[in-house]
Chains A and B, each alone.
Chain A
């Protein structure tokens, strides 16, 4: 038990439920106290993470307090336990039992008997509770209410209104938890129904949770509808590969195919929620572009399918004796990243490895090694925070479960949020964030405050240093939250030029000795290795001869990155055909997340392990393949399985010696150009892992160029116009959106339809020309 979890004295109350005494914290609802005794009171509208509604009336029980009985049964989902309370549930009170049966009968009169074709059939709280609480035969002989079915309340959520029991879980979730009140109950009486606003469709990043918590089959996901019966599915615990929030997931497989994913239950992280990307973006696994067999470039200059021994031999031959750089990418599991790290040092004899496939700096690399490796901030610190400062971090877009946690406290206790975002995004507005132009302008923090730094903080020199200094001077908790799921694990694995596994500084001889003895090698390279951009430059000027690339899209780094790979020997480990595999000399297909075991370290540095979900798939994890290549090179890394890798990581342990000290950089001056482009990514965009899921893409935000009203006036444009934004590299054209943003800035999404800034403009941030199209 950590000190954080230490028991705090809680005021308790005692009551008797069905003759059994129970003591619970004050404020506990009767329905929850009964659960502790193993007494299940049927319910529909009740949800432990939503405010009580008391709408469905299914949970009626008899209650008396200090000998005074309520004249009628009470909803156990709305009434807190009090001292001296005696509760009789359906188990001991005939009145409660009849009340519950009566409600169940009412719920069923207008509910269709379409269980055999309903997605929910087999996992349906209504079906289950109708069996436990209902009558065997209906007394209803009248006419049922009917509706046209189904209707799309978004491209990904469908509503069958006649199945709805109007528990309002979905509308309460959207309003209370996500802050997206885009669905509401309309009409009245039995014609009451969930509806959307004509002008605001249900485009919430969290909409899939409404499908998951719907206690009937009223809300279904378009991509899963009519695909499977729950009893044909095999459910596997898994971890989400999309961002660093760290969600627990459940993956449901049928006959070797992932059919759906659901939010898992981890109170310390995602509670019972996840985002729509985590839920629905998994079709890339079954994409036609998936690689199943190795490819080797032949004498004809074309890629040909090859056997594994042939491909491994070709890779080894191309790498042997060469000066090789390693670009690992930010989406690896901890174990795979460890494989790249060890492969670079042992098989290639280099520290030229970097996982960062995005804009990056040396300041950041130092910050990651010296500061991030020590950070222990968690979600619980947000729960206790007096201020949350967002630095280069847009939580709703870049780590949506972190957003939910902050939003909860904004809603419940008006938590103060401060952001250095240049634009008041919708997420910022939901958080009521106070915008500052730089982290240097933040004041009033205490040791209770939390500073959340995103990966984009590296894009303005000195920002990471300033955030660190702010944490140092105020005692505030600091956290670094990258966008990708694998980055924190890659740091821990040493998949970066200044760190060995277990946070060991490359330049520290005793740290190297640790690793040498564990790996059974006589020496390790001593100098800090090249960064991603330095590796690319070195390949270009031929100070490096070859490159080993994991899951990296060169366009995430720079517009030139792919060109820099053209005249070098490229070994690509990939799940699907990509711009890198197209130019690679050897392509080694690897397993996607559902096809392998492993673990992700989330932004807290905490691991979530997962097992292979799709048993039949015969693809290997990156680490296994690297181990084979190392064997072929005659420099074995001895990591034949993920399990062996995990064991080695654990036995090596973390460095407890001195860290390199962080040398702060001065904060860059504010841009003085007439117009500076600023950008970040939308959660739903053109990302490679979202491919193949049109229903999800249908709720992505449209790209628009955001400018201030003063800039709009200066340029003579309105929201009906388009802007042309150009750099030396190229240009993009987008419709105008007038928002709260500095007059010399123009904001666009980084990788959305019509707005891919690196390929089009050559950078993510910099001077641009802006004009009316």
Chain B
């Protein structure tokens, strides 16, 4: 299983991969024609059968999500694509949209057809203007080609697609905050219930899916459930994009069947940067508890990572070698969460404010071992107490780093400062430094 399985990324190396012509050259929009010949319920059943699970982090079965939309309710339905990719370390949706935007658009049309939506939205992270331009062009081309608009491919199905740029807030990746932001309000998570499937965008039944989940749909329609299920593991079917970053020889996106291990991916990526060893890594972005070298053989699927005490998350594999100070890295992450905390609930807003101050002191070697206990106790008072999952993510690097590297924290305290040379961990540092 140690080979790649490029589907979405199969043609990224072609110079015109992002164009509608290139997409069609490789059979693009064929799945759409096929889907439109089935009933919407058949499409939902097919996606359910395929076992496709949400690629945004939570791993919820996509087909099930679609089936929650009440049918025959005479209400507008919406499909909203979450393209607010902001999780530290995650860089899969943006390259996908840059190199292969039509896979998403085709997936949106099929998904909208399935859930009976006539207007869909892509909520795109506002900072990536180049991706915005490219997706906007792809949408224009899809309209021109008759894949969007009225009576798509003569099926009688109409769909409008709107690309919306966010204003740059991590919280807007949370689906209900995303909906508030899309409606023009300040992005803060909504109280649930009601869930988006009942009252989402403009209080109408709404499906919110990750870019990669929706972009995977055309391939499943085209090649069939068996083809998809042949990849992956028992409960985590299919292929996915892993984003590999940090101290590796060849970082980037690796599309592989679910269940591949970091050891296998590192082999494909040329290993840890020359002369160094793996120290710690995240399986799915900074919100997922970190792993160490002992987890190299954990299967990177939903169940495998969970069994090892973390989460598959966005499959953002951030690799840190022995030159990295884990306290420093953790502080940087916690600063990110403090900056991005939306302010709605107390534990996240106040907790991250406090955690950063303690972490800064610890990195500077101030404090005692009792502060580590206080830190863990604060984490306990934050995790599972907040309105949404943002704060859970904020404490996971602290808890997991203390679990594996407590001695390194204490070393900061006993030495009165950080024992690491921060320059040594930079990529511009010469090999073997």
**What residues make up the interface of A, taking CB atoms closer than 8 Å to B?**
52-58, 60, 71-73, 78, 98-99, 101-103, 105-107, 109-110, 139-140, 142-143, 145, 165-166, 184-192
Contact = CB atoms under 8 A, between A and B. Distances in A.
Contact of B346 (A78, A165, A188): A165
Contacts of A166: 343-344, 346, 349
A55 B358 CA distance: 25
Contacts of B169: 188
Nearest to B344: A55
Nearest to A60: B385
B292 interface: no
Contacts of B385: 57, 60, 72-73, 99, 102-103
Given A57-B345, A110-B350, A189 B384 contact: no
Contacts of A187: 343
B308 to A, nearest CB: 19
Given A109-B354, A192-B342, 7 more contacts: A57-B345, A57-B387, A58-B346, A78-B191, A145-B353, A166-B344, A166-B346
A192 B378 CA distance: 21
B353 A190 contact: yes
A218 B354 CA distance: 21
A190 B191 contact: no
Contacts of A103: 346-347, 381, 385
A191 B353 CA distance: 10
A54 B189 CA distance: 11
B343 A188 contact: yes
Contacts, number: 100
Contacts of A110: 350, 353
Q: Which 3 pairs show the lowest CB-CB distances between chains A and B?
A: A102-B381, A192-B343, A72-B384
Interface in B20-57: none
A140 B354 contact: yes
A766 B194 CA distance: 54
Nearest to B354: A109
A312 B344 CA distance: 65
Contact of A73 (B342, B346, B384): B384
Most buried by A among B341, B346, B351, B381: B346
Nearest to A52: B191
Nearest to B185: A184
B347 A53 contact: no
Contacts of B350: 106-107, 109-110, 190
Interface in B346-372: 346-347, 349-354, 357-358
11 contacts: A54-B387, A55-B344, A55-B346, A73-B385, A102-B385, A103-B385, A188-B171, A188-B341, A189-B352, A189-B353, A191-B343
A512 to B, nearest CB: 63
B340 interface: yes
Interface of B is mostly: helix
Nearest to B386: A57
Nearest to B381: A102
A140 B351 CA distance: 11
Contacts of A191: 343
Interface string B320-348: 00000000000000000011111111110
A139 B354 CA distance: 10
Contact of A55 (B171, B345, B381): B345
A189 B349 contact: yes
B65 interface: no
Given A55-B345, A189-B340, A106 B354 contact: yes
B186 interface: yes
B380 to A, nearest CB: 8
Given A73-B385, A189-B338, A54 B343 contact: no
B360 to A, nearest CB: 9
Nearest to B392: A72
Nearest to A103: B346
A71 B347 contact: no
A477 B26 CA distance: 72
Contacts of B171: 188
Nearest to A187: B343
Contacts of A165: 346
A54 B384 CA distance: 14
Given A72-B385, A73-B385, A109-B354, A102 B347 contact: yes
A53 B191 contact: yes
B133 interface: no
B430 to A, nearest CB: 38
B346 A190 contact: no
Nearest to A190: B353
Contacts of A140: 354
A285 B31 CA distance: 80
Given A56-B345, A143-B357, A185 B186 contact: yes
A53 B346 CA distance: 12
A185 B340 CA distance: 15
Contacts of A184: 186
B374 interface: yes
Nearest to A192: B343
Contacts of A107: 346, 350
A188 B189 CA distance: 13
Most buried by A among B345, B350, B353: B350
B174 to A, nearest CB: 13
A101 B382 CA distance: 11
Nearest to B378: A102
A143 B353 CA distance: 9
Contacts of A185: 186, 343
Most buried by B among A58, A101, A188: A188
Interface string B288-300: 0000000000000
Interface string B166-179: 00010100000000
